[in-house]
Chains A and B, each alone.
Chain A
């Protein structure tokens, strides 16, 4: 409190030198950090710790739990629904991230061309990312309708299939469908971020390489990709993070069905904790995501960083 008054009084009373150099800066820094610290400690750090603690208890909704050690985790290890959800999450993340990266990079390269209405294209391409996921997922739900799917209708008209595709009713189809919807939403983010990276590559490098007789593939492989790899690392880290913890899309499209084939860890955790009331077990599932998450972040971040360093060293 005294710090606060001191900071407020300072403009009035001439700021003394020691005040400004030494503790003044630290004290004022502390005051300025206070709101952020309150939010982040109270609503982020504390719940994170509380979540880990809950994972070791058998708390239910409306009933405080007791410490039961690793029982939740032991139970989860023999729970085939949980194991299936781990498998689904990894499959979902890997396939969707690879597709998002490949298609996003492709789109970024196209948008980096000399195009008419480039700004316009860039703006509309980003729309899927801007619109609330739940609302676009509802549109996909309708697109994937078992009876009246527009995709089935178009394919039947083209004569490629005979009967409507059961998009969300069959395990394999459902997985492919939710991945497609996720990729649809994720491409713009990857593309626009990579486009920003592409625009920072000096054209002279490509000119020089062209003069030396490099083919377009060689220029892509040895100029564009290495110059882009730091931003690829960050973009893919975020992309993997968002995909791994995805909840909304699955919750809208399948709620984990059919036969838990699309249950991700996040949706399973929600299902057990909130409608199921088993807060402790739900928290344990959520906590079980953390090691995977750290692994994924480290892999995509350092994996790509090292390549950048190697390429830089080779140059």
Chain B
């Protein structure tokens, strides 16, 4: 378990002092894949560097395995860093060393005999799926392959915690997916706790079970990923969860139509053709104005904005029907306008 208690970090810059972190409290349980998400400048990188004391916190403490890391000497911290390892956005491989030598580097630091280190590095190359790259140099590898080598290197000392600092931000979506799969596999098979720093909600959605949202150095929201996705409370969270929706939905509010907002909170709705059923059972052909739904573990989270054609009766029927669906909240956001509502059909919208 890693506990961040009242963690603050101030930097003194040429433009005066900067509070990079302000009284952060977080608990990361063993076995978690814990996401820390925020826009750039939110303090994510500083936060992750406080966990392994690359940055010493100005205030507060980091407690891992019962040890207050801030109270340890530099020598003791170096020992801890064999247990809490790190991968980076820019991979940070030694460019003048082969992949095998890169993976052996942390083992050399702990004075493991060369033959043994070599054997372990070869096994790790196998783990990350690049057994034939032992004697290649990093420059000969793609970005995804370089990150795999970096992951193998981070695993060399058999760590308990893996810190991922924007580890997939330099990769294309397909490669990102493959690397995240590998990280998940490492978490599950080796029982390594993973802390993922990212600015991409899709990364959190794909592998994290818990998430904290960081804004201007403070945690504005924290909890289970499914909970945060279905019901984002903080403004910063909403901007991250529904980046396209936030503005789009507001503009529909002035459209003078009968509108219903569905909020999916883990509904099994992926298997229920809700809109089609409504058309068949009630004879109401709802128009989907906007939808930002995400599927997490087979369940649907998110928002959908419907335009219900017809008058108040149709609206009432539709609401009644929709409310029967479990885990879906129905909000009527309507501004009723007789003129548009009396038309036979609602105008289809973008």
Verify that A and B bind, or say they do not: no
